Chain A
Amino acid sequence: MGALLGVLPFFAYTAIFLVIPTLIVVVGAFLDGKNRPTLGNLSALAQPQIVSAFVHSVVLSAVTAVLGAVFGALLAYAVSTASEGGLLRRMMTSLCGVLAQFGGVTLAFAFVATVGSEGFLTLWLKNIGIDLAGSTWLYEPYKGLILVYTYFQIPLMLIVFLPAVEGLRPQWREAAESLGASTWHYWRHVGGPILAPSFIGAMLLLFTNAFSAYATAAALISQGSPIIPLQIGGTLSSEVILGQENIGKAMALGMVAIVAVVMTLYVVLERRTTRWLGR
């Protein structure tokens, strides 16, 4: 029993700052303004602007997950062919580590500086005759956000997927070749199938990442809340109609549900990968 005391601080801390907040959200989604049980918050989720926010969030996350996964995988493969411990690999990994974490305000400002109304790329393109559909395209969910989100999805893909690519043993390639496989055959029958679970798993992770992102959109979009995180943020910071605060919790619960499904799939795929690649 004394041994349990050793882990008490950890459990106490996480209880207060992780478990209890989670419970507050989950339980609060089913309580009304006077803390009585209700399903009213959930039915309020059917409001058009909230449904549209969920749709936007899902579509945005899915599109940027695919874009990030494809280009990130190509980048990961390219980096894996560089010498281990070499400069290229180190710099790329560090750079991607920063860009993946550093979404949000920094990236938003960077894109404003580049393709915003005063951005150098906008001005340069105007000079050669291309007008970027007015100065507000950056702030629209599907155009601007896709671009900015992809910018931090690709680095995240590199970080998550590079270990899988590096897990491809050279012996497998050599054995396949000795048995008569060309490069195409190798990727079609060996390399591709082995990497597929990791690839899909990483793509799921990218989905979650984009779905949960708040800071970037908050910094870019000053009017309206086209995606769910912004809607939730709205319920915290603005004047909320009495009795409606818990809709924010319902939305949060909805987010958690979607993310939980995606993460469960991810864990299942990870298990299979670990068995095969022996990591």
Chain B
Amino acid sequence: MTPAKVPHSGTMTGNDAGHGVAVNLVNLRRSYGTIHALDGLTLDIAPGEFVALLGPSGCGKTTALRVLAGLEDADSGRVEVGGKDITSVPTSARDMGMVFQAYSLFPHMTARQNVEFGLRLRHIPSARRAARASQMMDLVELSDHADRYAHQLSGGQQQRVALARALAIEPQVLLLDEPLSALDAKVRVQLRDEIRRIQLEVGTTTVFVTHDQEEALAVADRVGVMRAGNLEQLASPHDLYARPATPFVADFVGLTNRLRATVEGQRANLMGTSVPLLPGSVLRGGALVLIRPESIAVTADPAGRTTVVSASFLGSTGSLYAVTESGENVMAQIDNDTVATFSPGDRVTLVPRPNPALAVAHEAGADTTAPL
């Protein structure tokens, strides 16, 4: 079923809303007593871009979103949308669509009435309102549930209606505050792909807050990893994964092994192999290399110096847990059809692949364990 195309009707909101506007958060600060929710956060989002804010609870991602929406005041700093400073503009005049984690829909209205709500407030005549609402319901593929109430819809359906409602007013920016966190795993995956599909069609600048790194990597153009009120790294999902800027990012995004190595110039000697290092790594001496499971090749070798602890079948892939002769724990990714060939106690040889990795100083590495 081909999704309905959303017509670009600039007359509705009076601005060029069809293809998004730039958003700039400039040096935002917000404190609650001694807690710094935002610590000089600066973020520039291009028109039509989909940015995910990712981080553990308390990192400030939701606060940033709410300051952008006008639901919270910043102590200092600016919020700019489309080049205009809107820091002093009240929420109701900011023209932003928002989807919440829970209780998104007005319980006393049907799905259709929810979607029409923003249009009613803008005094759109009822014929155009109904047409627009139908378009939106088609976009999120819920046209046959249009006359149901919130409590008659599943969690996923409610969020889709909330999305339709937010987009109906052709907002300048679309804000999503952990919209999938309250849903079942399977629904989450389906819905996040839908959200991305719809966003690409409509072209609205979007900010998406989540604590689930897989989700962020799957949907966003760029992901901003946040910690303690500021950005650790803002990059494309690929760069975030393959070229983490800090140990926190390396730990938070994907799985990471920490293995001892000696560093010489831009390379590290890890388990007998020379591995190139990413910028930001330490330059010499003893270090910990942060290396991904899929960057370690495993071969069965009776003379090997690493012992298998267990091998797990994960469906499309497999993982191997082993202990090196120096007592370090390693997790490596293996093909799913080789899982059965490894038993606990077997000897293997591990060889790191030549992908660039991040190296941190031994003590610093020991301290920076990313909170899950």
Question: Direct A–B touching in the complex (beta carbon < 8 Å)?
Answer: yes
Spell out A's residues near B (CB within 8 Å). 169, 171-172, 174-182, 185, 189-190, 193-194, 275-278
The 8 Å CB contact of A178, one of B96, B107, B108, B149, is B96
CB pair B169–A171 under 8 Å, yes or no, is: no
Interface residues on B, range: 20 to 34
Report chain B residues within 8 Å CB of A178: 69, 71, 91-92, 94, 96-98, 166, 175
> Within the complex, which residue of A169, A176, A182 is in contact with B103, where a contact is CB–CB below 8 Å?
A169
Question: Which B residues touch A194, using CB under 8 A?
Answer: 106-108
B117: A residues at CB distance < 8 A: 176, 179, 189
Tell me whether chain B's interface is mostly helix, strand or loop, or mixed.
Answer: mixed
B248 interfacial contact with A, CB 8 Å? no
User: Do the beta carbons of B100 and A175 come within 8 Å of each other?
Assistant: yes
Taking CB as reference atom, which chain B residue is nearest A172? B106
Query: Are A180 and B71 neighbours in the complex by a CB distance under 8 Å?
Result: no
User: What is the bound-complex CA distance between A185 and B118, given in angstroms?
Assistant: 11
Note all chain B residues with C-beta closer than 8 A to A190: 106, 108
B84 contacts the other chain (Cβ, under 8 Å)?
no
Q: Which residue of B lies closest to A185 (CB)?
A: B121
Given contacts A174-B71, A194-B107, A194-B108, contact A180 B121 (CB under 8 A): yes
Given that A180-B121, A185-B121, A278-B107 are contacting pairs, would A175 and B93 also be in contact in the complex, using a CB cutoff of 8 Å? no
B residues bordering A, Cβ < 8 Å?
Answer: 69-71, 90-98, 100, 102-104, 106-108, 117-118, 120-122, 149, 151, 162, 165-166, 169, 175
Contact at B100–A174, with CB atoms within 8 Å? yes
Please report the C-alpha to C-alpha distance between residue A171 and residue B103 in the assembled complex, in whole angstroms: 6
A169 to chain B, nearest CB (A): 4
Neighbour of A174 across the interface among B95, B98, B120, CB < 8 A: B98
Instruction: Kindly list chain A residues whose C-beta atoms are within 8 Å of the C-beta of B165.
Output: 175, 179
Q: Which residue of A lies closest to B117 (CB)?
A: A179
Known: A171-B103, A276-B107, A278-B107. A177 touches B121 (CB 8 A): no
24 contacts between A and B (CB under 8 A): A171-B103, A172-B106, A172-B107, A174-B91, A175-B100, A175-B162, A175-B165, A178-B91, A178-B92, A178-B94, A179-B97, A179-B118, A180-B118, A180-B122, A180-B169, A181-B92, A182-B92, A185-B121, A190-B108, A275-B151, A276-B107, A276-B108, A277-B107, A278-B151
The answer to whether A177 and B104 touch across the interface, beta carbons within 8 angstroms, is no
